[in-house]
A and B are shown apart, each in its own frame.
Chain A
Amino acid sequence: MFVIKLVLKNALRHKLRTFLTILGIAIAVMSFGFLRTIVTAWSAGVESSAANRMIVRHSVSFIFPLPYAYKEQIARIPGVDMVSYANWFGGVYKDPADFKNFFPRIAVDPETYFDMYPEFVIPPDQLAAFKAEQGSCIVGEKIAKELGFKIGDPMPIDGDIYPGRWDFVIRGIYRGKDATADETQMLFHWNYLNERVKELQPGREGNVGWYVLKVHNPAEMPLIAKTVDQFYLNSRAGTKTETEREFQQSFVSMSSAIIRSLEIVSYIIIGIILLVLANTIVMAARERTTEYAVLKTIGFSSRHIIGLIGGESLLIAGIGGVIGLLLTFPIAAGFAGMFPTFFPVFNVETITIILAAVVATFAGVVAALFPTIRALRTSIAEGLRAIG
């Protein structure tokens, strides 16, 4: 009780110093939470992958296409329940400098795509309208909201991988079943793409970017992967078959150097939190050397000294940590607002909150460690001699 009271009074002794320390910790914890949120948002694609889906792509690289003819062959492989396919389209929508306009555009098989991805929910009438019209497309609810799309709106795209002007009409808007589903895609008919390619670049038609397989039993995935890849081993286009999770991971790891560096910076921030706090606590404890000696003289024990120093450290770390965490939410929301379609999912996860709280607590304990040991080791006689 007395210790708590004295901790509070001590913390308010140098109000400016305490305030600046809390501010420093708050900013650092906020940066930590924010960076961790980016890291987790980046990996969200991996988390949202389904356990029963596999991806077949070109054995050399994702950017090389596979023949459409593989579809029927793959569908006959035992254990494969369904085959769908897709093709990255790219293109430019309006001003490419505006991050809002940066969303994936993919040519898909309208018949199977939404059966393959039950996490994308679309009203049946919209799906039917989409299937019936080759120049139509479907967009995710997030970009629809962001860019104000309504059903029936035109969506003109300037092609880059596939040159020319492409005109689509929005016939449906899908939403994610849960927060991890990507609501930022624009999906249209693969046939539409293929026919234009045939017309404009004869010889390039009849290709898909990748196949998606739904397998009956996830335990058979390694076997299926082996079967497919063996089958096309000596073909014109070899394949690499992997689980959707592995595929997403390899996708994510393309930018993994950036993510790694963000992660490293987030660890450096832990060090900064520690230094900011330790600096204050070491200084405060040093100033109070005589007071600790007086308290010990009167009969107060090591426990009280530990409580005083540790308490102040944890108090400052705690307040800074809470403020920092509370700031993380608006900062993350603001960032997500600036790049609405860049990260399909951008939430401050519970694990991030827990991690930031652990970091702040850890800093509070470690920062108090050295000055506490010093205060305990200092004999009363020495402490009384110190000019405080």
Chain B
Amino acid sequence: MIEVHNISKSYRRDSLEIPVLSNITLDVPEGEFLALMGPSGSGKTTLLNLIAGIDRPNTGSITVNGTDIATLNESNLATWRSHNVGFIFQFYNLLPVLTAFENVELPLLLTNLSKKERREHVEAALKLVGLGDRMKHYPKQLSGGQEQRVAIARAIVTDPTVLVADEPTGDLDRVSAGEIMVLMDRLNKEFKKTIVMVTHDPRAAEKAHKVMHLDKGELN
């Protein structure tokens, strides 16, 4: 499903080359729920971005669903992302000027769906995350847990096969975090989403099938 082969990634700051990931190889089979843990600055976000096609490795290849995403150009990569990957961020990253409904609708605006079809999809996704009654609310009018559930609805509304989540419970209290993890678990089991989740939270990692640790550029 996701095959990361021997990738390296370094950032250049002025003349200084900062290696972040070196020779990482990783296989994520379909339907997997993988948790990535590791100290701050170990490169978890960087690895997640590479898998999700929002950043490129310096060397190595990444194949998702049979597509070698490192070979795609910028606009093809954007199209690929919109079809294949759903994103969940630590700080939800909803657009504050749009309602819950409009935020979830965003990815669908790039498809050929009619307005009516979009409405059906959005309503289904919001109901799935338990926010069928909050569609007209703006992010400011929602709790952190609710905002993250809207973000999850946005991530799944196009029905992608892969979900990537970067510390989805990092900014939430225990109860809300628990609810989010139940939801993630359901998406994995019931809807067969392949999930790669970065987390610092051992309780969150418990829901995953597999936990890997990233430290000093190496994955165990």
Contacts and interface: CB of A to CB of B under 8 A. Distances in A.
Contacts of A2: 109
Contact of B110 (A9, A294, A299): A299
Nearest to A288: B95
A298 interface: yes
Interface in B30-50: 46, 49
A290 to B, nearest CB: 6
A70 interface: no
Contacts of B87: 294, 297-298
Given A2-B109, A379-B55, A381-B55, A299 B95 contact: no
A338 to B, nearest CB: 46
B159 to A, nearest CB: 14
Contact of A301 (B54, B78, B154): B78
A110 to B, nearest CB: 74
Interface residues of B, number: 22
**Interface majority SS (helix, strand, loop, mixed), chain B:** helix
Contacts of A300: 78, 110
Interface in B44-99: 46, 49, 52, 54-55, 75, 78-79, 81-82, 87, 89, 93, 95-98
Given A379-B55, A381-B55, A299 B107 contact: yes
Given A299-B82, A301-B78, A381-B49, A294 B55 contact: no
Contact of B78 (A9, A12, A296, A384): A296
Given A290-B93, A301-B78, A9 B98 contact: yes
Interface in A369-387: 379-381, 384
A2 to B, nearest CB: 5
Contacts of B81: 297-299
Contacts of A296: 54, 78
A297 B54 CA distance: 7
Nearest to B96: A13
B97 A13 contact: yes
A301 to B, nearest CB: 6
A315 to B, nearest CB: 14
21 contacts: A6-B98, A10-B97, A12-B97, A13-B96, A13-B97, A291-B95, A294-B89, A294-B95, A296-B78, A297-B87, A298-B106, A299-B78, A299-B82, A300-B78, A300-B110, A301-B75, A380-B54, A381-B54, A384-B49, A384-B54, A384-B93
**A-B residue pairs, 9 tightest by C-beta:** A299-B82, A9-B97, A380-B54, A381-B55, A294-B93, A299-B78, A298-B107, A2-B109, A381-B49
